């Protein structure tokens, strides 16, 4: 699976949109981009995933560049409860496990 | 639809004892994954199981650790003769299929403390 690069930490003001970047320049055509988050010491929580097209659900939006070498997770109206470590993971077709990196520690400030 | 259930939530064992961690996957999910998170560290894959089969155990320590997912009942992660370094959070996840278009659902974890 392709490696991902994320900033180690980010801050965002409450109520604003949080935009978390992820680079995956070696991604191949059949690899999905997944986002998970871990709030404090809870179990990781699935947020969203996509292959080529942008995706949106009740939690977030995922914007994947046309060349697929990078993506951005958008939390449209961040709240204090969105403070967590966010993981961007690339998972290939047939890959049976998710490999977590260090993620981005997002802090939402009041 | 209940989520992934792990128990116990907290487990304290003395050095040399055995620890058994249980994981019941979501209904309809036949694929189970175990991860370990040491204090202040990231999530590390341990093992992937389907019913009655170990598919990938590349992340399992070579000794003292074993996992099973029987035809009936929960998946069990077993740690024999625990040592202080086994103190960690152990998370289980399940999915309905193994292919890349299906995400995992994680449980709340078992916090193992070895004293």
Q: B101–A32: do the CB atoms touch at under 8 Å?
A: yes
DSSP assignment of chain B: ----EEE-SEEEE-TT--EEEEEEPPTT--EEEEEEE-TTS-EEEEEEEETTEEEE-TTS-SSSEEEE--SSS-EEEEE-S--GGG-EEEEEEEES--STT---EE---EEEEE-
Mean residue pLDDT across chain B: 93
| Distance between A100 CA and the closest CA of chain B, angstroms | 6
pLDDT number for residue B97: 78
- Paired tokens of B85: 């370094």
Picking from A82, A89, A58, A84, the residue whose alpha carbon sits closest to that of residue B103 is A89
Distance from CA of A14 to the nearest CA of B (A): 26
Residue A54 has φ and ψ, to the nearest 5°, of: -65, 145
Whether A101 and B100 lie within 8 Å, measured CB to CB? no
Query: Which chain B residue has the Cα nearest residue A34?
Result: B103
What's the full length of chain A, in residues?
Answer: 110
pLDDT for residue B35: 97
Q: How far apart are CA B53 and CA B28, in angstroms?
A: 17
pLDDT, tens digit (0-9, with 9 covering 90-100), for A47-93: 999 999 899 999 999 999 999 999 999 999 999 999 999 999 998 87
Distance CA A66, CA A72 (A): 12
């Amino acid at each position: 699976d392709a490696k991902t690069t994320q900033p180690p930490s980010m801050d965002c003001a409450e109520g604003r949109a949080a935009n978390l970047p992820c680079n995956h320049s070696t991604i191949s055509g059949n690899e999905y981009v997944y986002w998970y988050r871990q709030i404090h010491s809870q179990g990781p929580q699935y947020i969203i995933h996509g292959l080529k097209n942008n995706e949106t659900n009740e939690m977030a939006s995922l914007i994947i560049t046309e060349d697929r070498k990078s993506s951005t997770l958008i939390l449209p109206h961040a709240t204090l409860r969105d403070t967590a470590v966010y993981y961007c993971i690339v998972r290939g077709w047939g890959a049976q496990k998710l490999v977590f990196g260090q993620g981005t520690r997002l802090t939402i400030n009041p | 639809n209940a989520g992934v259930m792990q128990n116990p939530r907290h487990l304290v064992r003395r050095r040399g004892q055995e620890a058994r961690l249980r994981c019941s996957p979501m209904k309809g999910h036949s694929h189970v994954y175990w991860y370990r998170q040491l204090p202040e560290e990231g999530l590390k894959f341990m093992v992937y199981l389907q019913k009655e089969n170990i598919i990938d155990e590349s992340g399992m320590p070579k000794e003292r650790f074993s996992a099973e997912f029987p035809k009936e009942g929960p998946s069990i992660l077993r740690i024999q003769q625990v040592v202080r370094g086994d103190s960690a959070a152990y998370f289980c996840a399940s999915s309905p299929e193994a292919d890349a278009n299906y995400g995992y659902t994680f449980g709340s974890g078992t916090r193992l403390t070895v004293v």
